[in-house]
Amino acid sequence: MDKKIAIAIGVAAVVIPLVIYTASPVFTNTVVNEPRPEFNKFMAMTEQERIEAAMAMGEEEKNMILTMAAKQDDQPVSEAMPSQATVGRIIDNTTTEVSGMFVGVNDGIHNANGTAKVILLSDGSKVLRLEEFKATNGPDLYVYLATDKTASDYVSLGRLKGNVGNQNYEIPANVDLAKHDTVLIWCQAFSVLFGSAELR
SS3 of the chain: the string is: CHHHHHHHHHHHHHHHHHHHHHHHHHHCCCCCCCCCHHHHHHHHCCHHHHHHHHHCCCHHHHHHHHHHHHCCCCCEEECCCCCCEEECEEECCEEECCEEECEECCCCCCCEEEEEEEEEECCCCEEEEEEEEEECCCCCEEEEEECCCCCCCEEEEEECCCCEEEEEEEECCCCCCCCCCEEEEEECCCCEEEEEEECC
Average pLDDT over every residue of 14-43: 66
Q: Which residue has the higher pLDDT, 151 or 21?
A: 151
What is residue 95's predicted lDDT score, i.e. its pLDDT?
46
What is residue 94's predicted lDDT score, i.e. its pLDDT?
40
Q: Which residue has the higher pLDDT, 23 or 15?
A: 15
Banded model confidence at residue 92, pLDDT cuts 50, 70, 90: very low
**pTM > 0.85: yes or no:** no
Say whether pLDDT at 97 is over 70.
Answer: no
Q: What are the structural domains, with CATH classification, of the chain?
A: 75-198 (2.60.40)
Q: Which residue has the higher pLDDT, 35 or 9?
A: 9
Give pLDDT tens digits for 55-90.
Answer: 988 888 888 888 888 888 888 888 887 765 555 544
The mean pLDDT of the chain is 84
Banded model confidence at residue 33, pLDDT cuts 50, 70, 90: low
